Chain A
Amino acid sequence: MLLRRVIPCLDVAGGRVVKGTRFIDLVDEGDPAELAERYASEGADEIVFLDISAAPEGRSTLLELVERTARRVFIPLTVGGGVRTDDEMAAVLRAGADKVSLNTAAVLDPELIARCAARFGRQAVVVAIDARRVVDERGANLESPNWEVLVRGGRDSTGLEAVEWAARAVELGAGELLVTSIDRDGTQSGFDLALLEAISARVTVPVIASGGAGEPGDFVAAVVQGGADAVLAASIFHRRQHAIEDVKAAMAAAGIPVRIAPKAA
């Protein structure tokens, strides 16, 4: 039976792990390779590594960091942030990533997804979607909720509807979707379950839930109500509010199959 994954996320800027709230107010959380190693030993099922500065001049630093991290962890590593071409994806894979996530560049040039899938296989192509709820002028949600896709780290509107974009990305060759609620990111107020539910019902590839994890119960809800195949979190792990082990125990108690990692030899 395929197990549901718990994935710590390392947002990296300037070579350090940082974490903000709704993509701003960044706080330093430590060294990427060290944190990745700690999470691997604590039972993480995978590590996601996002270069949120994604400045072109930071490219080589990122690749060095990916390689340094990849050499220290023996669980899968997904890397994203600023990848614009299939050649750049090749470089990130060469540095040691198992999967690469595409975000802004895929919105600007959707065929990039197809090119990367053709070259590396769709299982290596993750499309990350940063979605924000569309609200009416009084600030209330519209009758049936919908979400807009934002790019460039939540700075730019695209006019794309998130569920439609998810379906299109999968059609083009995405093998997995990393769905982040900008409204919930860093707030620890729970995942946007309606967003997860809408996307996971629409596509047949695995969906990773992101944005809002605060309590072990949030991970359970992301799977049971949101239909997520994997659940990602950053701040609650960085700040040791909850251990990966405790999150998995809560999931197992709710009947969700999870991996109990063996102690490292």
Chain B
Amino acid sequence: MSPAREKRPLVGIVDYGAGNIVSVSRGLEIAGAEARLIRRPEDLGDVELLVVPGVGAAAPAMARLEAAGLVDPIRAWLEADRWFLGICLGLQLLFDGSDEDGAETLGAIRGRTRILSGGARLPHIGWNQVERHRDHSTFEEIPDGADFYFVHSYAGRPEGPTAGELVLAETTDGSSFVSAVARGRMLGVQFHPERSGPYGLRFLGNVLDLVRRDAGIEAAGASPVEAGAPAVEVAAPAVESVV
């Protein structure tokens, strides 16, 4: 094990009263992170990966982020292409807005969050398969079509010319919806990795590996620190204008 691998990346978990903070921080700790709760912009400090969890509706979530003074810092974080993971509502907030309550959200991904359709029942609650569109390091050693846990009624679909490149995976409940996205260092999943058993913890561990390798590369100035480490899949940030 290289020192870079043992290092526990500092992960900031945005605590805005909209999600299961215990399970998200515990899951990340088990996966190898040092977790810190983010309640004010000053908490962001030397955070290496910012996680926005959350369940529920977009408008109250945006209002609470706004009240905490976190909307602009999160937008700036995304524009700077720093490591980011949105979970469930945290992914939905990346879109332009939500049809659920008309909320305008962060606007980092063009498109809106819409109600799921085609399934026998709503909310979509339970384990379902995450079918990959392309390979990505976050799904390393997780079989394609592995089951992850979902609990939601809405999902966003990226729009615009680069939409296809954003989509990492889809899931089907009657009709299909986007269940994972990635663009540069911005990651988002509609499922709950912290509640998806061994594969979920593996997913979180993979995200932390990416953060670690990225930090190692920056420190070393060039090649990956660990010999034989899979190539870091940090694509150049898309230039699509999303503002």
Contact = CB atoms under 8 A, between A and B. Distances in A.
Contacts of A1: 128-129, 172-173
B128 A98 contact: no
Given A70-B26, A93-B20, A3 B197 contact: no
A124 B119 CA distance: 19
A122 B121 CA distance: 13
A192 interface: no
A237 to B, nearest CB: 17
B198 A71 contact: no
Interface of A: 1-5, 40, 45-46, 67, 70-71, 74-77, 90, 93-99, 118-124, 175-176, 204-206, 229-230, 259, 261-265
Contacts of A5: 126-127
A120 B200 CA distance: 23
B206 to A, nearest CB: 12
**For chain B, which range describes its interface: under 10, 10 to 19, 20 to 34, or 35 or more residues?**
35 or more
A264 B202 CA distance: 10
A194 to B, nearest CB: 20
A70 B202 contact: no
15 contacts: A2-B120, A3-B126, A3-B127, A40-B197, A74-B23, A75-B149, A96-B22, A98-B55, A98-B195, A121-B56, A176-B125, A206-B125, A206-B126, A262-B146, A264-B198
A4 B146 CA distance: 15
B123 A3 contact: no
Interface of B is mostly: mixed
Given A98-B20, A123-B55, A204 B121 contact: yes
Contacts of B125: 123, 175-176, 206, 229
Contact of A74 (B129, B151, B200): B200
A71 B201 contact: no
Nearest to A44: B197
Contact of B119 (A2, A175, A261): A2
Contacts, number: 119
Contacts of B152: 123
B209 interface: no
A67 B123 contact: no
A198 to B, nearest CB: 16
Contacts of A204: 121-122
B27 interface: yes
A99 B127 CA distance: 15
Contacts of A96: 20, 22-23, 26
B201 A206 contact: no
A210 B145 CA distance: 30
A95 B20 CA distance: 8
Contacts of A206: 121, 123, 125-126
Contacts of A93: 20
Nearest to B61: A121
B194 interface: yes
Contact of A265 (B119, B149, B201): B201
Given A74-B196, A93-B20, A123-B55, 4 more contacts: A74-B198, A118-B57, A124-B55, A265-B201
A230 B201 CA distance: 24
A231 to B, nearest CB: 12
A173 to B, nearest CB: 11
B23 A2 contact: no
A94 B21 contact: yes
B96 interface: no
B127 A45 contact: yes
B23 A205 contact: no
